[in-house]
Amino acid sequence: MNQAFAEYLAACRQRADLALDRFSKQIHSEYSGHKDDSLSRRLYEAMRYSLLNGGKRVRPTLVYASAEALDPGCSELALDHIAASVECLHSYSLVHDDLPAMDDDDLRRGQPTCHRAYDEATAILAGDALHTLAFELLADCPGLESSQRISLVKALAAASGARGMVGGQFIDLSLEHHQPAIELLQTMHSLKTGALIRAALRMGGIAANANGEQLQALDRYGNFIGLAFQVKDDLLDIEGSTEVLGKQQGSDINNSKMTYPGLLGQGGSRDLLEQLLQEALMAVAVFGDKAERLRQLGGYIISRNY
Ligand code: GRG
């Protein structure tokens, strides 16, 4: 990774962290005037614990980079709302995914999962509250037309509900102890992981006034990097370490999950990553030089080590 891109990634991450810190503090301070605010302090703490514990901020970075591919001058604060919104949605999904009823994990981003650090009911409610905060941030998005705000809400709702992430998670849970065909595995990942990645790109595009053709190009790019993200995740589960990953290494094998390396081998999975990157690069060729960050992000997604 070249130095300039490493600095760009760090800057996007810091920008998203600051936005998340500010927006989550803001809702707490709006509530703090209430007589019984001490009763719900634990809920806010659990939300902030899950939100501000060192994620890579890939989805916020995709929001910033897709807007930059279209209109680098579009409202900075609007993009911060959108970036924070997608990350709140993502954090909620991780909190719920780690619960005993789902993956029952103890470690997330190198720290005890939310239900381990707090308790199960608090984790469920913190996830619920992050979910709704995501939509509030979009509805309040400054500097955009109301039609754009509605499009943002629709994009995030469609990507995260039954025909997106939740649907993918449901298929994943239903497939436990089954050996699905590669097409079904692909569909499951396209919904579970890919939908939110595509939404992040589309939402950056909506804020930057993308036309239908440009949204389609972002969508195609998102399909390829979304799948690449998952293939890399499967490889890291084998090749990474618990310490660097911040979550239990080998959990796919331990849980008998069907994975790309399981189907294609590690070499075959690496070849697939390269193919997916080439397809992704072609998809954003229409944006010319302005898609440089999206191109670099594609490379980062297939070469990251956690
Ligand atoms: C509970 C409704 C519901 C959905 C859960 C996203 C998800 C659906 C589950 C996460 C399971 C998982 C490990 C999926 C693989 C890809 C993925 C989303 C990894 C985590 O995202 P990163 O790597 O995490 O961006 P950080 O911590 O960097 O934010």
Tell me the CATH number at 177: 1.10.600.10
What pLDDT digit, counting tens, does each position of 103-137 carry? Answer: 999 999 989 999 999 999 999 999 999 999 999 99
Is 233 near ligand 1, meaning CB less than 6 Å away? yes
What pLDDT digit, counting tens, does each position of 225-260 carry? Answer: 999 999 999 999 998 877 877 777 777 777 777 889
CA distance 15 to 126: 23
Closest CA to 272 of 207, 227, 303, 226: 227
> Residue 281 contacts by C-beta under 8 Å, 6 or more apart in sequence?
295, 298
Domain hosting residue 146, numbered range: 3-303
Residue nearest (by alpha carbon) to ligand 1 atom 10: 94
Count structural domains, the chain. 1
Work out whether the CA dihedral 77, 82, 85, 91 comes out positive or negative: negative
The secondary element (H helix, E strand) that includes residue 62 is helix 58-70
Is 96 near ligand 1, meaning CB less than 6 Å away? yes
Confidence of residue 33 (pLDDT cuts 50, 70, 90): low
Residue nearest (by alpha carbon) to ligand 1 atom 2: 166
CA distances from 174 to 106, 169, 171, 257, 296 (A): 22, 9, 5, 11, 36
Is the predicted pLDDT of residue 205 greater than 70, yes or no?
yes
> Residue 188 contacts by C-beta under 8 Å, 6 or more apart in sequence?
168, 171, 172, 175, 180
CA distance 258 to 224: 20
Residue nearest (by alpha carbon) to ligand 1 atom 26: 55
